[in-house]
Amino acid sequence: EAQVTQNPRYLITVTGKKLTVTCSQNMNHEYMSWYRQDPGLGLRQIYYSMNVEVTDKGDVPEGYKVSRKEKRNFPLILESPSPNQTSLYFCASSPHPIYEQYFGPGTRLTVT
């Protein structure tokens, strides 16, 4: 089954404790991206990757890092999480951004 998976689905952590949210797709897509969703602000792009080793900032990249060492994986790294990063995070993939984008199930992160 073609899908985008994210892990963990739910995470509660404390300020400053490094964490990684994984994203994996099995569709051989070149384009992958991360979004966060906040009440009243909607979905905003954090980072995107056009292909392996090619990443760039989206609208709200501060406090996040990404890497793209393999085509299928695009982890999101929070090196020192803060409470304002409490949010619902989505990973997406597509053959190219002008085509349909497929979203993962989301990761609900709470930073206390």
Q: Using CB under 8 A, list all residues that contact other proteins.
A: 31, 33, 35, 40-45, 48, 56, 58-59, 88, 90, 92, 97-106, 108
14 or 43: CB nearest other proteins = 43
Burial classification of residue 108, based on how many CB atoms lie within 10 Å of its CB (0-12 exposed, 13-18 middle, 19 or more buried)? middle
CB 64 → other proteins: shortest distance, Å?
Answer: 15
Phi, psi values for residue 7, rounded to 5°: -145, 140
* Buried/exposed 3-29: b ≥16 CB within 10 Å, e otherwise: ebebeeeebebeeeeebebebbbeeeb
63 or 106: CB nearest other proteins = 106
17 or 57: CB nearest other proteins = 57
CA 106 to chain centre: 9
CB 90 → other proteins: shortest distance, Å?
Answer: 7
CB 97 → other proteins: shortest distance, Å?
Answer: 4
